Structure 1
């Protein structure tokens, strides 16, 4: 079945970029300061906030610089099972 409300990857990425930008501003950091603190180029930080486009490596560096790496570390750690088949697959049966 097709989920008509499912968001695209671009929509999700732009939403994530908006949350990072909001956190950056809350911490009173400029894009340049975040770039320096994270080791990610200024251009990459700027592009990420505008388009949502960034490598996983750079996103991780930004999360560390903003001291929210735990958010990434817990990603996908508590995904509920969708079926009994998934439970059996995890158990290797």
Structure 2
């Protein structure tokens, strides 16, 4: 797949358990995640749960920044369990 270069409007890196790093990149209308090392394939349920909770907290923190910058609410939906986070903008100082 040929990717077009896109200039990120905002990005932020988070350190997760098991030496994983995720960088969220906001492109103005969408965002993407860049994993280091590559997207994890963890089979143990307890370890996967720990990583997923840390990822969701990092995503919530990143999207809170975006919500605050734009003064909007953001809903993050997790599939396949249909859970979601409603992210409110913080008060700007």
Larger Rg: 1
| Length-normalised TM-score, structure 1 | 0.28
- The structure that is helix-richer by fraction is 1
Q: Which has the higher contact order (CA 8 A, sep 6+)?
A: 1
| Length-normalised TM-score, structure 2 | 0.28
- The structure that is strand-richer by fraction is 2
